[in-house]
A and B are shown apart, each in its own frame.
With several copies, the nearest count.
Chain A
Amino acid sequence: MSKQQEKSIGWTMPVLAAHVANDLEDGWCVNLGIGLPTLVADFIPEGKEIILHSENGLLGLGPKPAPGEEDMDLVNAGKEPITLEPGGSYFSQSESFAMIRGGHLDAAVLGAFQVSQYGDLASWKLPDKLLGRVGGAMDLTVGSKRVYLFMKHCTKTGEAKIVEKCEYPLTAKHCVDRIYTDLAIVDVTQNGLVVRQLAPGVTFDYVQERTAAPLKKGEAVTSEIESTGVQT
């Protein structure tokens, strides 16, 4: 299961971010995790109002400020200067996590170290590290109405990140709803992992070889294979 991936194959991260952004619904309140997931903000389609939440106590996260306009009292969960959209508001951390844990966020888009076929997530601590960085990850995964992962399909060394059972310390069990990777979009369902969409030029078998848990073909994938006659 440690297959190297060709550099040129699959979606680039910005294109993948656009896929995520496209799936967010008008009016949703969404938390984008620190790092890669923040890319999604740049691809929200015109005319769709997505209210971004930042767990340090802000709704209505806007883009980065212009150079020289940074305000140290206005930062995101990654402690980077940001701006506030019209309609945005400030609140405390306890109010912010009441909002998260209380189920008021429509979706959280998060990074991952490992995700299991049952939607268990490991994202806060590597087994060989002394320290983990849990931050708000456990609250976001148990509280958000939908948890989407935004991640590379494999590690830098080619190890599968989608696995039968997480070996790394868990963030939460049964919490992930959908996995967006450079190779495919995979739903976590009661019937197991179902590939919803393949990146252009990527076959089902190619994804399965780089996944350490059994995948199923979703309806759209099956019909595309049938219509194009492309071997998977």
Chain B
Amino acid sequence: MIDKKFNLAEQAVADIQDGATLLVGGFGGSGLPSNLIAALTEQGAKNLTVVSNNIGAVSDGVAALISNNQVSKIMCSFPVGPHADDLIQRLENGKIELEIVPQGTLAERIRAGGAGIPAFYTPTGVHTELGEGKEVRVFNNREYLLEEAIVGDYAFVKADTADRWGNLVYRKTQRNFNPVMATAAKTTIAEVNRIVEVGELDPEEIITQSVYVHRLVLLDGVREGRVLINE
């Protein structure tokens, strides 16, 4: 019988090794899997490559991993914010490598990783600093950059509701990067507010299909903090 539920976030992240590539969903604090991040700060894996859109918008996001010296590379579109000081310091002393990726290219590279597309061309970033060194190719008289897929060893995603199979339903703009990151990792771990019986989710409304989710962590109502406050 399929059962992807782990009782504790700590158990769900226990096998993450030093040097792993980690995709982290969320847009600022919205749809942020902050409990999985907290568990990973306790677990302590180092030299992580972290792919996440915003770094520094909130203290309990990727910023927590940076401050805890667990990150050696960041790929993001927005590396600034009130909690970016530790990132900036580590960039300046060379402890962290930063790759800034335009937001749409970041999303599309992750989608490609999940969809078996190794590379694609995009108009975004042509003739800019972020396109330097990338292959430029003309289609129909317009220039495009070649961009390669991003695949994670692990993805941390946040959703509202799951079922035992691992189907996920999100709430409003909680979706953001979560559905696409869920498709693009060898092991996708979802933290959710509730888990319902198989068959209870409307089949028309499931956004992340069960096949993409490998582990589920149910927030216990104490640690989840930020989310229930706003419900």
Residue ranges of A at the interface with B (Cβ–Cβ < 8 Å)? 26-27, 29, 47, 49, 51, 53-60, 70-75, 79, 84, 86-94, 96-105, 125, 130-139, 142-143, 169-173
Contact = CB atoms under 8 A, between A and B. Distances in A.
23 contacts: A51-B210, A55-B103, A58-B172, A73-B30, A73-B31, A87-B163, A87-B165, A87-B167, A87-B199, A87-B210, A90-B172, A90-B203, A90-B204, A97-B107, A98-B111, A98-B183, A101-B116, A101-B122, A102-B184, A104-B212, A131-B88, A131-B100, A173-B126
Contact of B127 (A74, A93, A102, A172): A172
B93 interface: no
B229 interface: yes
Contacts of A138: 102, 104-105, 124-125, 128, 130
A89 B27 contact: no
B178 interface: yes
Given A49-B2, A94-B107, A134 B78 contact: yes
Contact of A142 (B124, B207, B209, B231): B124
A99 B113 CA distance: 11
B161 interface: no
B33 interface: no
Most chain A C-beta atoms within 10 Å of own C-beta, residue among B77, B160, B180, B226: B77
Given A98-B116, A136-B102, A139-B103, A79 B30 contact: yes
Among A94, A131, A136, residue most surrounded by chain B Cβ atoms (within 10 Å): A94
Contacts of A29: 210-211
Name which of B107, B164, B198 has the most chain A CB atoms within 10 A of its CB. Answer: B107
B21 interface: no
Contacts of A47: 1
Interface string B1-15: 110000000000000
Interface of B: 1-2, 27-31, 53-54, 57, 77-80, 84, 88, 91-92, 98, 100-105, 107-108, 110-111, 113-117, 122-130, 160, 163-165, 167, 170-180, 183-184, 198-199, 201, 203-204, 206-207, 209-212, 226-227, 229-231
B209 A99 contact: yes
Q: Which of A54, A101, A173 has the most CB of B within 10 A?
A: A101
Contacts of B80: 131, 133
Contacts of B88: 130-131
B125 A51 contact: no
Contacts of A86: 198-199
Q: Which of A89, A90, A93, A138 gathers the greatest number of chain B CB atoms within 10 Å?
A: A93
Contact of A93 (B123, B124, B180, B227): B180
Among all A-B residue pairs, the 5 with the closest Cβ atoms = A86-B199, A97-B104, A101-B116, A139-B104, A98-B115
Given A90-B175, A134-B130, A72 B230 contact: yes
Given A59-B209, A73-B30, A73-B173, A101 B100 contact: no
Contact of B173 (A56, A132, A136, A139): A56
A89 B213 CA distance: 14
B139 to A, nearest CB: 14
Contacts of B130: 134, 138
Contacts of B30: 56, 72-75, 79
Nearest to A103: B116
Nearest to B228: A72
A139 B78 CA distance: 14
